[in-house]
Amino acid sequence: MDGETATGTESWEDCMLAPVDRLRLERADSPTPGLVEGTEPGAGQRSAMFVQAQSFEDLTSEAEEEAQRSAAEENPEGPDEGEYKVQNHDFSSDSRTKEEDVSSEAWRSHKKHVFVLSEAGKPIYTRYGTEEALSSTMGVMMALVSFVEAEKNIIRSIHADGCKVVFLTKSPLVLVGVSRTSQSDKELLRELQYIYYQIVSLLTLTQLNHIFQNKQNYDLRRLLAGSEYLTDNLLHRLERDPGLLLSAVTCLPLASCSRDAVSSSLQAAKAKNLVFSILLAGDRLVTLIRKKDQFLHHIDLHLVLNLVGSSSSFREGEGWTPICLPKFNTSGFFHAHISYLEPASELCLILVSTDREDFFNMSDCKQRFLERLSKRCAYQSLKEALKCPTYPVSQVGIPDLRHFLYKSKSSGLYTSPEFPDVYRSGQEQERLMGLYQDLHSCLHHPTRPLRSFYRCGETENLLAWVTSGFELYLCFSPLASKASAVAAVNKLLKWIRKEEDRLFILSPLTY
Amino acid sequence: MTVFNQLLSNELPVQPMMPGSVSSSVTCCPFFPRVVLLQVMLLGDSAVGKTCVLVRFKDGAFLGGNFIATVGIDFRNKVVDVDNLKVKLQIWDTAGQERFRSVTHAYYRDAQALLLLYDITNKPSFDNIRAWLTEIHEYAQRDVVIMLLGNKSDMAAERVVKMEDGEKLAKEYGVPFMETSAKTGGNVELAFLAIAKELKHRATQQPNEPKFKIHDYIESQKQKSGCCSLG
């Protein structure tokens, strides 16, 4: 067991050509699959595709550290750095009268508002309504931030009247989330962080800083014009997409030989400045090839997915757009060649280059990829696989199991069956996602994280389990017992192990 | 013999021509007639209808409904017949938003023709035309063919830019002008064809052949858009 672990770890850290078959045999023999990181079902065998990140913590800890650091800097003698929760009930009524002037009851009853403003208090983005109408409201938000800052402290959140107001200061921007959901501050902060990265990916942090250094009261909406829908869509995804919750992406189920053929065709279509080649089927990853030693962060990939999924403008021709991948580098733009393999197809190819003038090289790469793909007949099997991009939970063969999310930590990939009939409606899906989010919050509690969690509800029973190798969230019918749920875990893990070739990308390639 | 004939015998896909001439190029394919490659770029403020004009020309359809902002630049091909010669137009559709300007600049110099659009129902988009022309002179090839288009000519009720103002501006800069409508298709085909003809003539002109006059050609062909409503 020890020896096996060592092999596994060594091979995916060193990016060597590990003897894949031997490793696969050893892994299959493991009596308790998945208890050690790197050997769980779905773990990559040669090297991970993504930056190894403590996923959720990676997103939030940074903000917390920063907050604490700046609090410490600004408040060298202050003992009460860090946590500063203002319990202020006057605020809600106060701000409400202001909002009433500009907006309706419907506006206020939205479950979650997100605002972005500059440090000068200028509105940059609001999820609902127009920024102009909310300039005074945003002024109040900035006043709150400044007021607490003047006391050499940092405002984190306000809890009032069933409403949470969460602040994220990322100079030169301030992001504010106002939520009536049961999400924790940390979850809300994570979402604001995503919005922040979305804005950085459009402009780069260097440009943002430059603009506001030169002109503090610059109206950033001028530069962000026409991109609001990206932020809107990202917020929508945050409510619906398990990938954003799990800090992982999901793959198109595809026989491993077909996937390998697609991957190697894509690998062969390389160019000097090409850093990442990504083939998507809708929101699902078909394959991802990266330059050796360069890793893509899952946040960056989600920003790419959001860009591609939100814009129908890539449907017809070949798109060429600057994109900053903030987790890779906040200071510069990559240039992405984005095109669908066929106009009506779900298959979208994204070629990320470092050179602004590389359009024709990338266009040529795409042609070479297509030629190889059709030569190897892989295109046909890929098209076949597109017809069933998902699978019913009944394939697993656990009677009371309705739905699950399984994430392999070392590969950063997750798998999940289609929603069963009970959760077909958008509203029900969002409710289930809300339940998963709750479980996720409990497992990743900042001070008291849990290993496993079982919850009985009126409409479903839920079980969550996290190990060093995987995260698992299961949803059972309300009639299932705890014992059967626990027994189901092993059966499910065995099933995923059996299907991992198809559900995950086990041998990611580099150029 | 002529430049064009030299090009025809050359199989390189992209072949720069002598200085000062149009750098159009010609590829030879055994199964198809000879094809001239021309690069055309659509420019103008956000939401003036660049993508709609392109889709009307390319697919003969109108993109109604919601506004879809182009991201970065978008590249499409369309082959047209000009005087029995296949001309492959490579069309760059650009995003009007300011944050994409640097990418657009990078591809200016490859373009042999620029279609510069404004929206006749949007005064600022017309006022910005001078700024666009300044930018064009800075980044584009010296002999690039420019055409000014006042789009959305079907929306007569909302018109704020008079046709004469467009004509006046075009005259000042010596560029051909017409009003187009991506919705009805009015003059859209003509705009692209006039450009293709002009460039084809430049590339293939025989010494004793009369010069192609794009202004005259347009005047003779164009539909006086919205003539019924303009009175």
Comparing alpha-carbon positions, the chain B residue that sits nearest to A319 is B74
Q: What is the pLDDT along chain B (231 residues), one digit of tens a residue?
A: 333 333 333 333 333 333 334 444 444 444 445 678 899 999 999 999 999 999 999 998 898 777 788 999 999 999 998 888 888 999 999 999 989 998 999 898 889 999 999 999 999 999 999 999 999 999 999 889 999 999 999 999 999 999 999 999 999 999 999 999 999 998 999 999 999 988 888 877 666 666 777 777 777 777 654 444 333
Q: Report the pLDDT value the prediction gives residue A68, as an integer from 0 to 100.
A: 52
Residue A241 has which token pair? 């997409």
Q: Is the pLDDT of residue A36 over 60?
A: no
Residues in chain A with CB shorter than 8 Å from the CB of B61 are none
In a domain, A57, yes or no: no
In a domain, A482, yes or no: yes
Of the three residues A219, A239, A259, the one that is the final residue of a domain is A239
Q: Are residues A381 and A435 in the same domain?
A: no
Token look-up 């979650």 returns A112
> CB-CB: which of A229, A322, A338 is closest to B103?
A322
Contact B115, B84 (CB under 8 A): no
In a domain, A2, yes or no: no
Interchain CB distance below 8 Å, B106 and A319:
no
Q: Are residues A178 and A193 in the same domain?
A: yes
Contact B117, B96 (CB under 8 A): no
Q: Are residues A204 and A257 in the same domain?
A: no
Q: At A197, which helix (H) or strand (E)?
A: helix A185-203
Beta-carbon neighbour count of residue A79 at 10 Å? 5
Q: Are residues A335 and A382 in the same domain?
A: yes
In a domain, A305, yes or no: yes
Comparing alpha-carbon positions, the chain B residue that sits nearest to A225 is B97
User: B106 CB near a chain A CB, below 8 Å?
Assistant: yes
Q: Testing the interface with A: which of B75, B91, B93, B125 to mutate, by most A Cβ within 10 A?
A: B75
Domain boundaries, position A469: 393-503
Interchain CB distance below 8 Å, B102 and A227:
no
Q: What is the pLDDT of residues A43-62, one digit of tens each?
A: 876 666 676 544 444 555 55
Q: Report the pLDDT value the prediction gives residue A235, as an integer from 0 to 100.
A: 95
Of the three residues A369, A387, A405, the one that is the final residue of a domain is A387
Q: Are residues A372 and A499 in the same domain?
A: no
In a domain, A180, yes or no: yes
Residues in chain B with CB shorter than 8 Å from the CB of A363 are 75
Question: Long-range contact list for A136-139, CB < 8 A, 24+ apart?
Answer: A136/A98, A136/A101, A136/A102, A137/A95, A137/A98, A137/A99, A137/A102
In a domain, A409, yes or no: yes
Interchain CB distance below 8 Å, A318 and B76:
yes
- From first CA to last CA, the distance across chain B in angstroms is 51
Q: Are residues A171 and A189 in the same domain?
A: yes
User: B76 CB near a chain A CB, below 8 Å?
Assistant: yes
How close B48 comes to chain A (CA, Å)? 13
How close B55 comes to chain A (CA, Å)? 9
Q: Are residues A284 and A332 in the same domain?
A: yes
Residue A203's domain is classified under what CATH number?
3.30.450.70
Residue A339's domain is classified under what CATH number?
3.30.450.30
Comparing alpha-carbon positions, the chain B residue that sits nearest to A222 is B98
SS3 annotation, A246-294 = HCCEEECCCCHHHHHHHHHHHHHCCCCCEEEEEEEECCEEEEEEECCCC
**What number is the ipTM of this complex?**
0.81
Residues in chain B with CB shorter than 8 Å from the CB of A224 are 99
Q: Are residues A224 and A265 in the same domain?
A: no
Q: Is the pLDDT of residue A190 over 50?
A: yes
What is the average pLDDT value for chain A, to the nearest integer? Answer: 83
- Beta strands A112-118 and A401-408: pairing type? unpaired
In a domain, A344, yes or no: yes
Interchain CB distance below 8 Å, A314 and B71:
yes
Q: Are residues A154 and A111 in the same domain?
A: yes
Residues in chain B with CB shorter than 8 Å from the CB of A225 are 46, 97-98
Contact A476, A463 (CB under 8 A): yes
User: B228 CB near a chain A CB, below 8 Å?
Assistant: no
Residue A352, amino acid: V
Comparing alpha-carbon positions, the chain B residue that sits nearest to A318 is B75
State the Cα–Cα distance between residues A1 and A297, nearest whole angstrom.
Answer: 30
Span A88-97, mean pLDDT?
Answer: 33
User: B23 CB near a chain A CB, below 8 Å?
Assistant: no
Q: Are residues A229 and A267 in the same domain?
A: no
SS3 annotation, chain B = CCHHHHHHCCCCCCCCCCCCCCCCEEECCCCCCCEEEEEEEEEECCCCCHHHHHHHHHHCCCCCCCCCCCCEEEEEEEEEEECCEEEEEEEEEECCCHHHHHHHHHHHCCCCEEEEEEECCCHHHHHCHHHHHHHHHHHCCCCCEEEEEEECCCCHHHCCCCHHHHHHHHHHHCCCEEECCCCCCCCHHHHHHHHHHHHHHHHHCCCCCCCCCHHHHHHHHCCCCCHHHHC
Q: What is the pLDDT of residues A140-183, one digit of tens each?
A: 999 999 999 999 999 999 998 889 999 999 999 999 999 998 88
Of the three residues A332, A367, A387, the one that is the final residue of a domain is A387
In a domain, A59, yes or no: no
> CB-CB: which of A316, A338, A359 is closest to B76?
A316
Q: Report the pLDDT value the prediction gives residue A96, as an integer from 0 to 100.
A: 33
Q: Are residues A401 and A491 in the same domain?
A: yes
Structural domains counted in chain A: 3
Inter-chain CB pairs, A–B, below 8 Å: 74
Q: Are residues A407 and A454 in the same domain?
A: yes
